[in-house]
Structure 1
Amino acid sequence: MLKIALGQMEIIPGRPDVNTAAMLQMMNAARQQGADMIIFPEMSVPGYLLGDTWEQSAFLRDCEYYVQQLINGTSSGIIAMFGSVAVDWNKRNNDGRVRKYNAFFTAQSGKLLGGENYPYPFRIKTLLPNYREFDDDRHFYSTQKLAVELGIPVAELLRPIQVRTVHGPLSVGCILCEDGWYDDYAVKPAELLAANHPLDLLVNISSSPFTLGKNNKRNRLFSRQARKLGVPVLYVNNVGIQNNGKTVYTFDGCSTVYNRAGAVIAYCPAFTASMPVIDLDTAGGGMSRPAVAVPDDSGIDTVCQAVRYGTVAFLRSIGLERVVIGLSGGIDSSLAAALYAHILPPAQVLLVNMPSQHNSSTTKDLAAILASRLGCPYTVIPIQEAVDLTTRQIHQAELKATGQFQSLTLSPFMLENVQARDRSSRILAALAAAFGGGFTCNANKSELTVGYATLYGDQSGCLAALADLWKHQVYALAQYFNEEVYRDEIIPRGIFTLPPSAELSPDHAVDEGKGDPIIYPYHDYLFRAFVERWDRATPEDLLTWYLAGTLETEIGCQSGLSQRLFPGPAEFITDLERWWKLYTGMAVAKRIQAPPVLAVSRRVFGFDHREAQNGSYFTAKYLELKKQLLG
């Protein structure tokens, strides 16, 4: 039996010193537990999402220094497999900068393995993802490019590493993350490895961000690979958070071992640093261990785990120990309050209600009840006096131009935004400074999609922890907090039954059943089709489905809902164009200036949803379908 330690570690991006120290400690602990080998994730030394830090030669030299410390650490007898950047200072990337590889290192007895009959004593990532949050091709040179440069088939560079163990030699296929997700690539690294060389193990070291439901797909994918190749597959991923500026990603780990039949025989818990040592009968393909069931990762419990873990890690990473939350009495701010009061001592979460003349006693009372149940400090700071002052100042302002006086006025719609900005830019910002913390952005994904938030107002804050959740997910998560997290009705029932409303004008009077213009049971799914479909939907697609009678099936909302909401095609088209113009228009400018968003879904706003301020566009086919529908 080969004893293998799975080094599911928390990686701190940009801190090779901290990461290496943690790895050396884990290597020592694994050796004391009798492990023959320890496997760490991809880019475990430097971290993965580092932006253009990769362009700093001093940082690259630092990574080389710490890689050598890990190599030296194997002198104690343990074999270490890990990921880091590898540099060839004598060659250049396509951009003219020094050659860098996303590399897989294997060290034993103080030396690197795998350099015989190979250009380097490490293995190189073959498939460099350049979609979603990934930007590998910007910085790294791939096995494919190296093969072209050397004038040889890529298969010649896909060779296993021969490892010597007390149980005999092992032929280990070493691949990195995307190299295992090759279904849509012409080059299939794992299959080429197995076809040309006998393998005892296939090891995939990864730095794979969490996406809701992704681990289910990952298990299907790697299980199929293990069966097809006929060898055990070991997948090792990291935990922690990393970011690319506008988007904060959690890493769930979920490191897993599959036997040659594709069954899961060991796995690490999600969002938890751990180092299990498993016995693997490599000669028998791992068949001596019983199969184990892997938890489903597509439910609201996983959403809760990811949001909580990511928020805790983000606060820790920026050193924030206190937060201020604008508590309106609505579902979004109530969930934010319940979240932060659960991960911080309640005394360090300041809740503030900021009513204007349009806020009902209903929402004010609900906010106070929630604050009391959470045990957080709570205050009420009315804003109407400040709003009236702003209104007077603007109306009294005189603009001199060519000898004439021009007056300015604020429309009722403008006054809605004045209220939102007064709450955030004035009160919340000042309270956060006085309280010694930051203030939160409570926006949800539906609002961000169409810009239903005020720039420099409620679309401000240090982190938008809920901004990758559609409104129906916000309600589901709030209910989960009551039932499973607090096991009590912390969020009052009245907050769930209240119409969602900004309460910024008489048109938003909740006691009269008035609220947001977004009809969430329908628009959540319409907006999701714009954003999250792999083949993203446009008005042309929506009209095509509408004509075919398949709209609800395609976007996933309740059957027959669009017919109940829109009497005819004219009303449907008016609604569709309204939201499309906002999504591709003003909302883009707002998203560019929004706080960082915590990622949960398959497509999150920020770097994952790259967009330009180009304005709205309707295709020729759409205009033809519109003309057909409207006669």
Structure 2
Amino acid sequence: MLKICFSQIEVEPGHPDLNFSKMLQAINEAKANNADIIIFPEMVIPGYLLGDTWEQTSYLKDCLSYGEDIIAQSNDICIIFGNIAVDWQKKNTDGRVRKYNALYAAYQGKLIQPEKSPYPFAIKTLFPNYREFDDSRYFYSLQSLADELDTSVDDLLSPMKVNIKGQELNLGCILCEDGWSDDYNFSPIDILCKNYKLDMLINISASPYTFGKNNKRHRVFSKQAKDNQVPLIYVNNIGIQNNGKTIYTFDGSSTVYDKNGNIIACCPAYSGKNNYINLNSNEDYTPLPIPQNDDISNIYQALSYGIKKFLKDIHMKKVVIGISGGIDSAVASALYVNIIGKDNVTLINMPSKFNSETTKGLSSQLAHNLGCQYAIVPIQEVVDFTVNQFEHTDVVDLTTQNVNHLTISSFVKENIQARDRSARILAGMSAAIGGGFTCNANKAETTVGYSTLYGDQSGFLAALADLWKHQVYDLARYLNKEVYKREVIPQGIIDIIPSAELSAEQDVDAGKGDPIKYPYHDYLFRSFVESWQKVTPEDILTWYSENTLEEHIGCEKGLVAKYFSTAKEFIADLERWWNLFTGMAIAKRIQAPPILAISRRAYGFDHRESQNGAYYTRAYKQLKAKLLGETA
């Protein structure tokens, strides 16, 4: 029987000194508790999402130095941890020094070398070159090393042997993606278990939170343990890391599976602590229930944790939020108040002549319910001044000396309002109080650029921009019922039609609102960005012609017929939003604030895109002509 400590610590990316201190504290505690093995997450010393910090030689040396200090702590306890490994004599394919994403195991002050490895550490085999990951840019894989040595992964992938308490142990040590091999042409776990008799599998990870991902992980890792009849220990970190445009929370959720695939130990999400289990590879354990990770409470937990950590990292203590009487700003307000307290949140309502008494009243009610500082700053006078100034400004052609006068359209006036609110009032007010102001955009708006550059697109963080509109509503109800346990977000805000209130055509009292039909467009837009195989208008039109669209995108049945009476209307709507999604919306997303990732594909570095304009395939054009009775 071995006492194993799996240490779910908070990793501070780019700060190996802080991570070393946390590891040292965890090791001392594990020793005091007579643990035989302590396991830390992947890249626990340097952090994982570091961008081109990986190109700094001095940083690499610093991480290796702290790694040596951890190895020196392995007297009477086996320490397994992730760190960078460097072969200073070789180069990666980019011409820089050879780096490996490595797993180290140390005991009695010495490193344990995998049986067939040329190095005293295990090397990550499979690289997740998708979503937020960019491993091949920085690291060299075991697969690449095998190719270089003219051998196979089978010949290099081997366990680590260690004698603890007189027990000879074969530890099958892998790193993160090596356990997610379904879409690869081989499985590191299968290779290890086929070639060796293992006493346990150990997967150290740096795996960001994604809504619903933990449920899949439990299925995958449980099956691996059961199929190979060997316990599996999964150790993940907590904290937040980013790649500039996208911020990820790491939820931990470290788990131990017995040889039958049952969960026998599990760390609470976002809890940084040592966890212990007495493990016998042949023993049957009482299974624990599978944690549920796919409801709105998990989204709330990820958002709250991510916002709190991000504010701490950027040293921001006060926040200004522009509130409109709509659902997005209301949910943002309730979240921030719960995280940093009502005294640190200032809510500002900025009405124009188009804002109804209804929404102005709901804004006041929200502020009263939350107990925040609240200000009303009307914008109509300044907007009128700006429009008048533009219309009376002479624009001179210096070649012909002709004088032109601007005519300000209704659309431009809408944007002037949005920019006045953000660039003048919110930016000025946040600077005055020594804080920042939020971007309250949701994912549907972000998808099609339903926002104003330098207006409501601005802010220090877009905390809700990875949530679809229906998730924002779910979160509002959850905040009322489960977090505040009272109605802080007025029911009127939940019930009112969503509207920007920037013109008479968006009069909420007349039932006029946004052009986005969220019950349908949430799901249409989601198919554009979150599907593993990206959906295009060709796919959408094919499903529409087959009357299977709602089934494929997951929206409520009957909505297509409700919103579109003819194929012509449906196609016009599809092309309107596709043109925006692949057009101006990209430019807006490039200039948008950082987004807190929740979904399987968040905007920013997670969803890489270029400004190439809309494109329609030949098959789409042919099907469109057929549906419209035209000649392609």
- Bin of the TM-score, shorter chain as denominator length: over 0.9
The whole-number CA distance in structure 2 between the counterparts of 1:560 and 1:327 is 34
How far does the alpha carbon of each residue in 1:150-170 deviate from its partner, in whole angstroms, 9 at most, with x for none?
A: 122211110100111115111
Note the C-alpha offset of 1:399.
1.5
Q: Pick one of 292, 305, 311 that aligns with 2:307.
A: 311
Name the counterpart of 1:324.
Answer: 320
Q: CA shift at 1:118, angstroms?
A: 2.8
The CA deviation string for residues 314-369 of structure 1, in whole angstroms up to 9 with x for no partner, is 11111111100001110000000000000012110000000011111111111111
**2:165 corresponding residue in structure 1:** 166
Cα distance change, pair 488–130 in 1 and its aligned pair in 2 (3 A): same
How far apart, in 2, do the equivalents of 1:187 and 1:17 lie? 37
Contact 2:239/2:309 (<8 A) preserved: yes
Corresponding position of 1:371: 367
The 5 A counterparts of 1:186-265 are 186-265=185-264
Give yes or no for the alignment of 1:479 onto 2:456. Answer: no
Check whether the contact 2:115–2:159 (CA below 8 A) recurs between aligned residues. no
| Structure 2 residue 351 is the aligned partner of structure 1 residue 352 | no
Deviation at 1:225, TM superposition (A): 0.5
Measured against aligned partners, the alpha-carbon deviations of 1:263-321 in whole angstroms (never above 9, x if no partner) come to 11111011111211110012x1x42x211012211111111111111111111111111
Cα separation, 1, equivalents of 2:115 and 2:543: 58
Give, in whole Å, the separation in 2 of the partners of 1:118 and 1:415. Answer: 67
2:97, 2:524 → 1: CA distance? 46
2:466–2:603: 8 Å Cα contact kept in structure 1? Answer: yes
Amino acid at match of 2:46: P
2:411 to 410, 413, 416: 413
- Report if the CA contact (8 A) 1:326-1:353 is conserved: yes
Partner of 1:58: 58
Counterpart in 1 of 2:607?
Answer: 609
Aligned-residue sequence identity (percent) comes to: 58
- Match of residue 270 from structure 1: 269
Deviating beyond 4 angstroms after TM superposition, the runs of 4 or more aligned structure 1 residues are none
For the residue of structure 2 that corresponds to 1:415, the secondary structure is: helix
- The answer to whether the 8 A contact 2:117-2:157 is kept is no
Distance, in Å, in 2 between the alignment partners of 1:167 and 1:256 is 26
Please name the residue that 2:561 is paired with: 563
Q: Does 1:395 align with 2:391?
A: yes
Q: CA deviation at 1:479?
A: 0.5
Matched, 1:279 2:275: no
Amino acid at match of 1:32: A
Is this contact kept in 1: 2:438–2:461, CA < 8 A? Answer: yes
- 1:70-100 CA deviation, whole Å, 9 max, x = no partner? 011112x111000000001001000010000
Instruction: Give me the whole-angstrom Cα distance separating, in 1, the residues matched to 2:349 and 2:479.
Output: 21
Q: Please state how far the C-alpha of 1:396 moved relative to its aligned partner.
A: 1.2
Residue 629 of structure 1, CA deviation: 0.4
Gaps of 5+ in 1: none
- Contact 1:38 1:81 (8 Å CA) reproduced: yes
Q: Which amino acid aligns with 1:366?
A: L
RMSD over equivalenced CA pairs, Å: 0.8
Mapped to 2, the partners of 1:389 and 1:74 lie a distance apart of 71
Please give the per-residue CA displacement for 1:388-429, whole angstroms capped at 9, x wherever unaligned.
111111111112211111111210100000000000011000
Match of 1:619 in 2: 617
- 1:9 equivalent in structure 2: 9
Alpha-carbon distance in structure 2 between the residues aligned to 1:97 and 1:236: 30
The normalised TM-score by structure 2 is 0.98
- 1:34: Cα distance to partner? 1.1
CA distance in 2, matches of 1:242, 1:518: 33
**Counterpart in the other structure of 1:35:** 35
Q: 1:86 to 1:59 in 2, by over 3 A?
A: same
Contact map agreement 2:89 2:97 (CA 8 A) in 1: yes
| SS state at 2:565 partner | coil
Letter in 1 for 2:375: T
Identify which range, 395-404 or 12-21, moves more after superposition. Answer: 395-404
Residue 509 of structure 2 aligns to a residue whose secondary structure is helix
Structure 1 letter corresponding to 2:463: A
* Cα contact 2:114–2:159 (8 A) shared by 1: no
Per-residue deviation, 1:45: 0.3
Superimposed CA distance per residue, residues 433-479 of structure 1 (whole angstroms, 9 cap, x where no aligned partner)? 00110100000000000000001100110000000000000000000
Distance 1:424 1:552 in 2: 37
1:255 is aligned with what amino acid?
Answer: S
- Aligned counterparts of 1:221 and 1:118: Cα–Cα separation in 2: 27
Q: In the alignment, which residue of structure 2 is the partner of 1:130? A: 129
Other-structure match for 2:109: 110
CA separation of 1:534 and 1:117: change in aligned 2, threshold 3 A:
closer
Of the structure 1 ranges 398-407 and 482-491, higher mean CA displacement relative to structure 2 is found in 398-407
CA contact (8 A) 1:2 1:167 kept: no
Distance across 1 between alignment mates of 2:291 and 2:122: 32
Q: TM-score, normalised by structure 1?
A: 0.99
2:302 counterpart letter in structure 1 = A
Tell me how many residue pairs correspond in the alignment. Answer: 627
| Cα drift, residue 117 of structure 1 | 4.9
Displacement after TM superposition at 1:115 (Å): 5.8
Secondary structure at the aligned position of 2:541 is classed as helix
The 3-state SS of whatever aligns with 1:73 is coil
CA contact (8 A) 1:33 1:277 kept: no
**Cα deviation per residue 1:568-595 (whole Å; 9 max; x = unaligned)?**
1011011111000000010000000000
Task: Kindly indicate whether residue 160 of structure 2 is the aligned counterpart of residue 177 of structure 1.
Answer: no
Instruction: Pick closer, same or farther for the CA change 1:157–1:117 going to 2, 3 Å.
Output: closer
Q: Which moved more, 1:390-399 or 1:479-488?
A: 390-399
Q: Output the amino acid matched with 1:263.
A: N
Counterpart Cα distance in 2 of 1:107 and 1:276 = 20
Pairs within 5 Å for 1:418-497: 418-497=416-495
**Cα separation, 2, equivalents of 1:149 and 1:629:** 54
Of 114-123 and 407-416, more deviation after overlay is shown by 114-123
1:18 alignment partner in structure 2: 18
How far apart are 1:131 and its partner, in Å? 0.5
**What SS does the corresponding residue of 2:464 show, helix, strand or coil?**
coil
What secondary structure is seen at the aligned counterpart in 2 of 1:567? Answer: coil
Q: Aligned AA for 2:279?
A: L
Write the letter of the residue equivalent to 1:327: I
Distance 1:84 1:521 in 2: 46
User: Measured at CA, do residues 119 and 494 of structure 1 come closer, stay the same or move farther in structure 2, by a change above 3 Å?
Assistant: same
Maintained 8 Å contact 1:7/1:274: yes
